[in-house]
Structure 1
């Protein structure tokens, strides 16, 4: 018999009746299916549980409606939707039974990819993403010189100021054979911290949908040109975060000397 699902404290949504049903578990992760009213759609939530008791939850976006409702990467001058489109169309290939393979090795640093230590901020041990046995790599910082190899449509809205034009990031975990294991999108909530509540896993099915769209069609369906944007989710929205101790992140190979923006800003 499986362990009972954890209790969710959600003071901001006490009017909702919500239950969590365990559907998969292992030594590191447990997946639950959340059901309740008024929503009629079951939503799968993946929790990461480490040996010190920390849980990390990310919602998975499976279709264009869910992407639009998340409000990720919009409105202009944010670049997250354009970054996601570039990744789906140009950075990955789909083969071998719908497996995703990276066309470029993120370890080489092309397009601004660099190692991501899975922390919410530089000096914080709290994880942003669920545990993975594979390394994470981040892309999307338009202040890095290597980001100039990104398409112009991704970079054109960057004001080079401290504003919303450089707040979005895409993170992948990748296997040694270049198979892309997981794809996440996230955003900065300030100059040094990522927003764990507005961090999402992008499903393979959504990436396949994006690959069949033109850029203009994708941006229109994702609501990029809509001025009325849903308010970002707040930390009270059924978020489970049981903090415990944590280990120091693994050491990584030294990076090249930082450029101007990296020396003067802590934004990643």
Structure 2
């Protein structure tokens, strides 16, 4: 018969568990080292985290916005929410930076923190939005009492029923200096979750274009009054590394911003 298995000292085992230390961490890998007792060899364990997810397409002009079918047709409110945001919420400084006014942390207009949680299944982890290190804030839930400060034209189509009249949202990422880093639009795919496939990044160039329109003209060009809406994209179209950001909008010619919005 073989020798009996050696007894494990519970104190030593506990010590080894308590000495598990994070020695490296990034969005893709996390490495740990178990130091144990002085006589125990160091062991390193690396966990590879798959961070691939659904691509966030950037919309750069009115044609791309219209083809996305975001916020339409009536009674959806996403296009009206986007128009309000571009014309009345952000302030464009003379260095072309977008400044939030007021701070979304104050909760005006129904703004509240958006977690952008990583959800993992079968070792594949996804976020709705690319993580850039900045906090996210969401607006557009017309059921919140604070949303009553939104303009009437944004709220008037809300039926207070379970339908499409409250499915659209706008999400921004904020830098510490109060400038808006990125702007996203999305829609609910059910009562709990947002649809990652029909989530879009709105370029600063498109926001400036929207500033140059009246509400009615903007809605017409965006196809809001057209009933033949292109079907939303189906899941599984494209996958990318979620740690990447939006595609940068094309560089604008001199005087581009001034031709659309007043620069403060």
**Residue 15 (structure 1) aligned with residue 15 (structure 2):** yes
**Equivalent residues of 1:186, 1:195 under 8 A apart:** yes
Structure 2 CA distance for partners of 1:123 and 1:53, relative to 1, 3 Å = closer
- The alpha-carbon distance between structure 1 residues 260 and 11, as it changes in their structure 2 partners (threshold 3 A), is farther
The TM-score normalised by the length of structure 1 is 0.68
Kindly state the Cα deviation for residue 132 of structure 1 after the two structures are TM-superposed: 1.6
CA contact (8 A) 1:16 1:37 kept: yes
Write out per-residue CA displacement over residues 36-95 of structure 1, whole angstroms, 9 at most, x where no aligned residue: 9999999999999977999877xx000000000000000000000000000000000111
2:79 maps to what in 1?
Answer: 81
The 3 A distance-change label for structure 1 pair 157 and 50 is same
Moved more, 180-189 or 236-245: 236-245
Structure 1 residue 238: deviation in Å?
2.5
2:90 alignment partner, one of 85, 89, 92:
92
RMSD: 18.4
Q: What CA distance in whole angstroms lies between the structure 1 residues aligned with 2:229 and 2:8?
A: 27
Greater Cα offset, 228-237 or 152-161: 228-237
- Contiguous gaps of at least 5 residues in structure 1: none
Distance 2:238 2:3 in 1: 20
**Count of paired positions:** 262
Contact kept, 8 Å, 1:10 with 1:239, in 2: the verdict is no
Unaligned runs of 5+ in 2: none
- In structure 1, C-alpha distance between the alignment counterparts of 2:60 and 2:74, rounded to whole Å: 23
Which contiguous aligned blocks of 4+ residues in structure 1 show a shift greater than 6 angstroms? 1-57, 120-125, 241-251, 256-268
Alpha-carbon deviations, 1:131-169, whole Å to 9, x = none? Answer: 121100000000000000000000000000010000000
Would you say the 8 A contact 2:185–2:199 is kept in 1?
Answer: yes
Structure with max Cα Rg: 2
